[in-house]
Structure 1
């Protein structure tokens, strides 16, 4: 009789609690987040990867696509500072504001919140690491051009992996401080010459240009993809969950310059970097990848291509080619695409304001079991 009672109790336990092996399998792991910003990248810019690249673009691999509305509190047409602050903090703010509300009150960022939860963090940019998009994740200032103050705040931000330009804001400052000494004292490996192998026992900062990095036309090479690969290798060795923001900065600059070649080459470079990240996501399924833009630049479109026929002197369409046209050299208010892949990617379908991307990331983190 005692044996039968024990069997009944065991059966009730399984019914209530589930199979023990299933319980173990259901234990949630912390979610890695990789957030990529193609600065100035609208639908036309993304489209250029389909027509000017070789083979299928990596954009085509995303199962989830949405659209984001990009206005700021001060203008229907945002700038990168307000756009990045919306991503980083979940609140819209005024143009030029970095990490502050519309009332110039400092806002906690997703990077700072995840650091408090034990996450590793990283920022990669083709511009100065103090530029609007990366700065919005760690700095809190009323104007994006306060580069020296932003650099000073980066010393205390304790970001684990940093790569970009802007060296002069750290070692050629008006206050004569050399912030590289501060990074060294804070146990950073510092490299101002190359993307050398990271030191896994330290934090790492790469500042490889005095101002921004060169653009692709100027011969930048594969800095963005290579820096991204180094960051992912670094975080893999740390064996902790991580948040990594990667900015393809010069898509925007191509639009400002109304330079089709620059825009297209920068989009293709960004798409190549997306490929590096997608390979990581496929190997690490507990990772969420989101790719979007802070705004569109240039009012770009892809239209018919014409050449002058030497024999007739008339302009004729070449059906096999496309022409990149720009409506303006400024930002526009057009909606921008959002691509998502990996764990909780379904959250990013639909149409929503840019600050909602922050809240969707928070929801994804909560679904992974993080209390944030």
Structure 2
């Protein structure tokens, strides 16, 4: 039997212990649900402006949000014990989808990342952000923890397969996010700092070799990150216009629907990857701070659920879901503000997109299942 870790957070059980009500019976967490709905509402307002007041784009996003909420509700009904039982099949199915992408995937903007099934286009790499931590949590929860070198090697193989397949598409940004989702499971499983430090040294020493296997556009992204002014009308255009939009918003912004950088189409990808630049220009520092506050509420609630979960599997999986959401937010904001290289990561539940929203909401369904099934179990 694995050694079970019990993480402590002052007041965690006190805050999560609620009287059973309707939401608990249908396996939804009220605080998390309200915060997610609030974030979606803000996202729709920002998207309407970023898309040039396009009702077609906004209605399409509403449809996707509705579908994502249904997915969250369905996933929340599945008890954690069944998630652990089905983890290997979910992982293998997503892995096969990644292989199919390389064979019959749709090519767009120089990358082969999408599959089409029943008229619906989706990215299997987005699904792997949940399937990988699900598989690793299931595998490690049935072993003695901290993991031995043998089990660590097996976990590394489970992690490496999808990461390499995604990098082959090529999609370096998503492959790094998937790797981060898997690594947090290993970290929470009690991986020693000595091993973590050894891997960090190994990764840093491999960086020069990575440069020679990167594609030309990936190298340009790194060079642009270091010096956007080297090609202001080419590779540096996106980040220059993005930082200009953010800086021009000031404290209060120019007003909703009044952003000049987006309205005059200087800002690229304004309704997807660079959407927070639209928010910063139109609502200023105040609007961005309020959006970040919503993200923090969601992350804090997720941490409370993760640290109050019963069982190693539930805690490992819940932690990975929360960490993945945090990395999404951190990387997108860092990318748009020029603190990180541009890697094409959407802003969660704000940027226009389908597969990422479905995957994120499925992850929150996992969190709600872990919390509510645990609460009902303790009645």
- Normalization by structure 1: what TM-score? 0.31
The structure where helix makes up a greater share of residues is: 2
Q: Which has the larger radius of gyration?
A: 1
- Normalization by structure 2: what TM-score? 0.31
